């Protein structure tokens, strides 16, 4: 972890180095085109393939958006995106699927989404 302290070269991260399941955040917001992410999540199913899109900005240099075939569902949390962004930026090809849609109950009416990411 602290290789730089001892002069060792930083090794590239791989999916073996980090978790494979991620909670999608921002699912309660509307997209810039006006679509409601909660409505989009209702159209999604378990094991549905999704797309990860890198979207760098000054404010969020490691941003990774989560998209389904119906639109943007949210993004990967900043803390998780740091390592995952490095893996994507290193050219690693990834696949992602919806592992679980959460919520939608009387006690928790808002929907959530857990995704699984693997190296191709």
pLDDT digit string, tens, across residues 55-99: 999 999 999 999 999 999 999 999 999 989 999 999 989 999 999
The CA dihedral of 44, 77, 51, 13, to the nearest 10 degrees, is -140
Q: Which CATH topology does 30-119 take?
A: Alpha-Beta Plaits (3.30.70)
Say yes or no to pLDDT of 15 above 80: no
53-79 b/e (C-beta count within 10 Å ≥ 16 → b): eeeeeeeeebbbbbbbeeebbbbbeee
pTM beyond cutoff 0.75: yes
- At 115, the pLDDT band (50, 70, 90 cuts) reads very high
Residue 10 pLDDT: 52
């Amino acid at each position: 972890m602290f290789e730089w302290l001892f002069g060792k070269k930083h090794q590239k991260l791989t999916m073996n180095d980090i978790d494979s399941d991620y909670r999608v955040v921002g699912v309660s917001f509307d997209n810039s085109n006006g679509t409601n992410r909660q409505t989009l999540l209702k159209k999604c199913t378990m094991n549905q393939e999704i797309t990860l899109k890198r979207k760098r900005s000054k404010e969020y240099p490691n941003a990774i958006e989560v998209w389904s075939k119906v639109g943007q569902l949210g993004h990967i949390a900043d803390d998780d995106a740091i390592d995952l962004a490095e893996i994507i930026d290193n050219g690693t090809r990834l696949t992602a699927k919806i592992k679980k849609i959460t919520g939608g109950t009387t006690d928790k009416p808002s929907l959530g989404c857990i995704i699984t990411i693997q190296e191709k």
